[in-house]
Chains A and B, each alone.
Chain A
């Protein structure tokens, strides 16, 4: 029986005789590939996203290995300058592919696609997202986009950098059009996902869950979706114009035909800067979920965290110019962008303070998700503060396009988004697959990962401030010590990731059975079984304060948290405002 064939699950929930969950509900390949179940689509996103992450990660290791020696360890010439340049082309293709895969196929879609799809309806107590078919279409657009990206690599790898700056991207002899077409489709996927999630949050909130009673992850997904819907069309049109430029020579971005290459940069960053917030906001949402659960304490400053997500999303639209301070736009315009850049830094700071205040007087459990959430706070703080100096105009002049920028955005993207994703993955893993992983090994891995990330990216900050530009296949010998340290860090990260893959795979087959509520979370996904049934909830969950843990106690018999009868006065009325 497949999911599409229909079943006996009606609107009246029936307690099944034998436990049936979404993983066992339909066993054919077709029941997976054509599923409309948000959980299965989430798992498929997870698989494709992790595959892309693996490829992008291995490319990163190639990059780091290349940079062990000044003239390049893997791609280098045979003595003459010309032969070096020909060899460096391969390095350029590697870092381009690393950037494109990581940004467009991993960082942007993975949290909304995998964790958002899985958790969003569960957090709402809903059966599915508002448009299940659109959800599946989004997924396949993403897959086709990814396949086109791979196709362009097979045909002749793109060497433009992930930013596709004109006129280089117009002149270079590689399959830019195919690659850009792939990203264009991924963009469509992103828009549809955004629309789907926004409508779901608007329309499928259960009675009693007012806007300010939603779990914070939903707020961050909502803000993310807003950016996806409003910003992605711009990059779509930019890439259409780029394709037309290459195929027909329309001349809008090509200075040889009188076009304006800076216009491309404006267009590109009008999307790609908000895209940075598409990447980081969901991760912040995950951290906002994890910190209170593992502090056993109500989140501090709920409204400020929720509204700061929206503030970041809205102001984030107005700061794209800070990527192009040195390209000759007017100084007055630079000043406006610089000012707004500093303004957008403040809501992020608010979140960090609120997370710390949540931990104050809590009962902090250092389980793996919490360790990753704490790593997030440290790494994101470093990433954010290094962003502040880049926003200062005179400092940007000496730091633009250096490894300082590389270090900064890797602290935010790797230390922020990916660590947030890993935290969320560990947090919802028992719910996703109904199995626990080895806690001790996971904790050690987290510490190793933290060391690896800092060892990789902190030297990059230093070497960049010292003047080493980014996207260099070879470099001046004086930068080598930093580069070696950075490469060692990258290898340590590789070890940590492989260990993680190992223990997670192990848990899939041999892990202990997960209880309904292993961490003691108060949001609705912890009300249903692990893994959840096809229809998510056998009985309609009742909506309370998602951050109220006073009625949850640990029960050693089930190895998880269970509800107890609460004292009468602490019951939160269902319809009362927060």
Chain B
């Protein structure tokens, strides 16, 4: 009975306009949509015509030429007619070629993003979407401005995912190990759904994210607000509340329940402070140190009864400057447990207004660094990327470099806080000796960095897998189209700001801050 009432309930929510709208397709709110819908309608009516023609002829023949007692043999008629055959070969051929040409031209448009696009980095993982904006803000909702082209640089942390927004007529697979791009220009404000289209495992069908399209000023407000998760209305939030937010934003909810029900990973209900048996037979008490290990190095130990290799490595999200995220999540886990005790709690108090002043005073800065790679200049002063004005003042190259770090997808493999990633960390990279797989050791100077970025196949540093880094950057950063290598210099300046051995030899040949006009 509950099932039937549920079904009726959902029927009530049915949006009839979707049924009758643009002949099955959603309305379409991007610049691609009109063309896509035109071709769809063109195909649709041609199909209706041919279906009616074929079924009509069939039914007519069946009735007109039916077998009866008086009519047992066929009327004499020819068994072949080449003119007829050629006609019904050529006509469909012409029609499908028209459809091909229309589809192809629009597709080429979809394939080439305009130069002035706003960049958003999309990170797909089992089973959540994370969006990183130019100002370093992170969100699980995709905010898009109206009437401004947005280029989406997409990376996957684990398996194939499909970036699919039906209402904006865009779709592209997100292939792990490379940066996939697509672009979109929304034409109407509204809220739509992003759904994962490429099968990716247990949570595939729930891997969706809301897409909020807003006018540009409101869009900017939204992403500024999203950049700061540790505060609300200027007041610092309790860490467990922040942890609850992170539980959703970072995708923990995909595997860990908070009500004790069984998931792919252990439930967080009554986890902190309890005793768990590991796959190696040991029994451990779930204290802060254990939780920290499980979150930052998920492969190291494994609780019995749960599959190995499922949890993605969150790496830099919880360590270094971002250690506050770890405190927040562990506090949240503690708040769910009746066994919570001093040993299972993080070393900072839950309430930032409490005795530990560092927690609250650092929260604003930590928020920015939690979400982005805040570049530290050689002098040690933090530069919150979120607040860089894009106005007429000359922007230091390293700030541009920090932006490119995200938009070009470097963030997928290189950390900036010393944590190991797929590729070498950029922290203290410039000026330090690097051991190559050939056995040689070289100092990471400007020339070395430039070679590694533009032609990653040329040499390999011991400790990082070869062949992972895309070799397309030479087209994006150098070559005929980029004779001044401005972006490349920006990235190398940014790498320099992250190292305490930065020197003349490691810096690009152009100054960091361009001379004011």
Contact = CB atoms under 8 A, between A and B. Distances in A.
Q: A contacts B directly in the complex (CB < 8 Å)?
A: yes
Interface of A: 68-70, 73, 77-86, 88-89, 92, 159-161, 165, 167-168, 171-173, 255-262, 295-304, 324, 326-328, 331, 334-335, 338-339, 342-343, 345-346, 349-350, 352-354, 356-357, 359-366, 374, 377-378, 381-382, 385-386, 388-389, 391-398, 400-402, 461-462, 465-478, 480-481, 484, 547, 549-550, 553-554
Contacts of A472: 204-205
Given A168-B201, A364-B66, A258 B177 contact: yes
Given A167-B176, A338-B103, A398-B36, A350 B79 contact: no
Contacts of A80: 253, 257-259, 261, 263, 267
A553 B108 CA distance: 61
A362 B195 CA distance: 52
Interface residues of B, number: 114
20 contacts: A70-B10, A85-B203, A85-B264, A88-B203, A167-B158, A173-B309, A255-B176, A296-B74, A297-B77, A377-B58, A388-B47, A397-B110, A401-B197, A402-B164, A462-B24, A468-B195, A469-B164, A477-B14, A478-B13, A480-B10
A399 to B, nearest CB: 9
A474 B221 CA distance: 33
Give me the 8 closest cross-chain CB pairs, A-B, nearest first: A467-B166, A82-B263, A255-B177, A392-B103, A393-B107, A83-B261, A80-B257, A258-B467
Given A88-B202, A331-B111, A352-B54, A261 B177 contact: yes
Contacts of A349: 88-89, 92
Contact of A388 (B81, B99, B111, B262): B99
B421 interface: no
Contacts of A79: 259, 261
A467 to B, nearest CB: 3
Interface in B409-454: none
A86 B264 contact: yes
Interface in B218-271: 253-259, 261-265, 267
Interface in B275-327: 307-309
A77 B105 CA distance: 45
Given A86-B264, A297-B74, A397 B80 contact: no
Given A80-B267, A338-B104, A478-B18, 20 more contacts: A69-B10, A82-B262, A83-B262, A89-B202, A255-B468, A256-B176, A261-B160, A328-B172, A334-B107, A356-B61, A360-B61, A391-B96, A395-B103, A466-B26, A466-B166, A467-B166, A473-B204, A477-B10, A550-B73, A554-B72
Interface string B126-161: 010000000000000000000000000000001110
Nearest to B6: A69
Given A261-B176, A467-B195, A335 B104 contact: yes
Given A86-B264, A258-B465, A394-B103, A385 B196 contact: no
Contacts of B358: none
Given A388-B47, A469-B164, A350 B88 contact: yes
Interface in B1-46: 3, 6-7, 10-11, 13-15, 18-19, 24-26, 32, 35-36, 39-40, 43-44
Contacts of A465: 24-25, 40
Nearest to A161: B199
Contacts, number: 358
Given A89-B202, A382-B51, A394-B36, A326 B173 contact: yes
B40 A395 contact: yes
B516 interface: no
A84 B51 CA distance: 42
Interface of B: 3, 6-7, 10-11, 13-15, 18-19, 24-26, 32, 35-36, 39-40, 43-44, 47, 50-51, 54-55, 57-58, 61-62, 65-67, 71-81, 84-85, 88-89, 92-93, 96-97, 99-100, 102-108, 110-111, 127, 158-160, 162, 164, 166-167, 169-173, 175-178, 180, 193, 195-206, 208, 253-259, 261-265, 267, 307-309, 465-468
Contact of A82 (B26, B61, B267): B267
B254 A81 contact: yes
A157 to B, nearest CB: 13
B202 A92 contact: yes
Most buried by B among A345, A357, A480: A357
Nearest to B106: A394
Given A82-B261, A86-B202, A481-B11, A258 B468 contact: yes
A327 B205 CA distance: 20
A471 B103 contact: no
Contacts of B159: 165, 167-168, 171
A397 B171 contact: yes
A171 to B, nearest CB: 6
A387 to B, nearest CB: 11
B319 to A, nearest CB: 21
